[in-house]
Amino acid sequence: MNIVTELFVVTFKIIWSFLLAGARWFIPPREKCVEGQVCVITGAGSGLGRLFALEFARRRATLVLWDINRQNNEETAEMVREIYRETGSLDRVQELSLFQPKVYTYVCDVSKRESVYSTAEKVRNEVGNIDLLINNAGVVSGRHLLECPDELIERTMMVNCHAHFWTAKAFLPKMLELNHGHIVTVASSLGLFTTAGVEDYCASKFGAIGFHESLSHELKAADKDGIKMTLVCPFLVDTGMFKGCKIRKEMAPLFPPLKPEYCVKQAMRAILTDQPMICTPRVMYMVTFMKTVLPFDAIVTMYRFIGADKCMYPFLAQRKESTNNNESKTGI
């Protein structure tokens, strides 16, 4: 095929992809069934990780929950078991399924690759091959760059970014062998654009998104179309992680913090329809696009108008006060 013909083919495929994307607005694709599939969720002990676990439990997936906090992880597992009991009773009444899903819990510090690799080996031995990997674990230091200890910066990078490398290296080989699986990266809108005062967090999320996109291209280059990738980029979620973050009061109603349940439901719809990327709310797509086309000074002007330039400062001040209070109590 000569280059001119190939150019026409490529142009047609690009236009066709736009048409298919538009069609999803009017004809929502069917959600795939994950009943009986094995789903690993990192950071499952609280926040979005716990909500992801409950959503997959309602769809009767076998859940493998990872968290550094054993108690919180067990609490999530008990919620999952309760859902299993409820859905199991309903299935027996309706004679829909004889499959009985299970939940497994593991204490794992995803910032340490040895912990990830050893825990993954336990999962393979005790549970079997996995079908879905939800890289959800995340932390924030809550310190200005020059006030942040190096150890906290390193931990933010390790948990929010490096851990994705370790989990992928642990589970991807079998997915490649079977040409089957789904990897989900729970990132953030702060991995698409930035604000002041959270340099380490933004850098870690930019890194996670870069890793996700590069791995997506690698799978396409290897013709491994059976392995799906979904990138989740929510706006600030009301989980308490960024408590105190504020923008200009007149603009606040337009950009409220997302309810965690809404965020996870939107993400689940994207995952179950093999959508490559989901930004919540949709205005985040526009913000990201504007960042790529506007001059930097124009972006700064917009930030200052919205109040986004220093929106993290109240959050950082609260964190600092809380840290000082804890240190005072420890000193007493």
| Catalytic (active-site) positions | 201
Sorted by sequence, the CB contacts under 8 Å of residue 192 that are 6+ apart come out as 209, 233, 279, 284, 287, 288, 291
The contacts of residue 272 (CB under 8 Å, 6+ apart) are 31, 32, 34, 59
Beta strands in the chain (DSSP E): 38-42, 62-67, 103-107, 132-135, 181-186, 227-234, 277-280
**Residue 105: φ, ψ to 5°:** -120, 140
**Alpha carbons within 13 A on the beta-carbon side of 265:** 6
Work out the angle at residue 264's Cα, subtended by the Cα atoms of residues 276 and 315, and round it to the nearest 5 degrees: 105
**DSSP letter string, 288-315:** HHHHHHS-HHHHHHHHHHHT-TTTTHHH
Q: How far apart are CA 137 and CA 73, in angstroms?
A: 12
Burial of 313 (0-12, 13-18, 19+ CB in 10 A): middle
Angle 122-109-174 from CA coordinates, rounded to 5°: 40
* C-alpha R_g of the chain: 21
Give Dmax over CA atoms of the chain in angstroms.
79
Q: CA dihedral defined by 188, 194, 199, 204, rounded to 10 degrees?
A: 30
